[in-house]
Amino acid sequence: MRCFKVRALLSKYLDSELGEDLSAEVGKHLAKCFACRAAEAKLRRALDLLREWPETEPQFGYDALLARVNQKHVARERSVPMPKLPVPRWAAAIMAATSIAVGVALGIILPESNVPTSLPSEQQVVNAMDLHPYDVVEASLTYSLADGDQRPIEKRELQ
């Protein structure tokens, strides 16, 4: 048996979930292979540590609910209270509403500086679309020869 197969079966081997034949094969391999024996020892140590942990029983019903409420209450007591604002809440709300109103008014009154005053030139459009000038010329000729008909040339010729 090969190492990768033995290592895949180690967990079942340690839990005695393998059949007698397969378990005997894994045992023979472990007797010969130092690396797999080390992996088995490492896994055995991990399982031993897990078995040392105390088993917990799930809490259902009212007792569990009370425990969660008490935990939340304790957490609230430990939390740091939020500092008081130097101004009353209604004053903060008025300041927020005023700043929004001023922002909207300025947006309406002042002209937008990022809107172009004129349309871009054909050259700017070609550069922005990363086209070559001959692509634009070809499209222009195709459109002008068709008298504005945008159907493919093959369909126009059939009619």
pLDDT of the chain, 159 residues: tens digit per residue: 888 898 888 888 888 888 888 899 999 999 999 999 999 999 999 888 888 888 776 666 777 777 778 887 766 666 666 677 677 888 888 999 999 999 998 888 876 666 656 777 777 877 787 777 777 777 777 766 656 555 555 554 544
pLDDT at 158: 46
- The contacts of residue 142 (CB under 8 Å, 6+ apart) are 153
pLDDT at 102: 94
pLDDT at 55: 78
Residues 23, 9: Cα–Cα separation, whole Å: 9
Distance, first Cα to last Cα, the chain: 76
- The contacts of residue 128 (CB under 8 Å, 6+ apart) are 120
pLDDT at 130: 78
Q: Where are the alpha helices (DSSP H) in the chain?
A: 3-14, 20-32, 34-52, 62-78, 89-109, 122-128, 133-145, 153-158
- Residue 25: CB atoms within 10 A of its CB come to 17
69 token code pair:
């409420």
Q: Model's pTM, two decimal places? A: 0.35
Residues 15, 47: Cα–Cα separation, whole Å: 10
